[in-house]
Amino acid sequence: MNVLVRGLLLAALAAAMGCGGSKSADEGKDEARASTGGSGASASASKFDQGPRAGESAANEELAERGEKLFQEKGCSACHAFGKRSAGPDLAGVSMRRTARWMENQILHPDVMVKEDPISRAMFGEFALQMPNQGLTPEEAKAVIEYFKHQDQEADED
């Protein structure tokens, strides 16, 4: 799909998703928890989401800085934000909802995840948008996950 068509689809979807009015950050977090399979039933059904949450370990700050740059360069903010719903799920608290393994698979193989993973499939049903494969390497995906952990740990300090 060329860039223009993908951009137009994202813009149309973002406009359609924005019609619900503004919500507080807490409401957004609650929606995100529900929408991203925050319930035990959905999480327990995913083979990638078993075990400790990614945010239970301290963020590697060097990798987090690299992850932040990748997040910006790859245009992730076109669909994701922290503390509010966008065209894609709210990323606030994602490192405490998901395992690093689940997030890495979602970043590296979104097309496979939407077909095989119940959490990813539920998000696709809610957002009607499959996450595009940004072509990141496993090391780059880990850096982005460290950025998510950094964001969540920084928010907890506030």
DSSP, collapsed to helix, strand or coil, labels residue 56 as helix
Q: Tell me how far apart the alpha carbons of residues 87 and 14 are, in angstroms, rounded to a whole number.
A: 5
Distance in Å from the first CA to the final CA of the chain:
41
Q: What is the mean pLDDT of residues 3-25?
A: 39
- Asked whether residue 7 carries a pLDDT value surpassing 60, the answer given is no
- Asked whether residue 17 carries a pLDDT value surpassing 80, the answer given is no
Torsion 73-158-59-43 (CA) sign: negative
Structure tokens at 91: 């990323």
Structure tokens at 144: 């982005």
**pTM of the predicted protein model:** 0.74
Per-residue confidence (pLDDT) for residue 30, from 0 to 100? 38
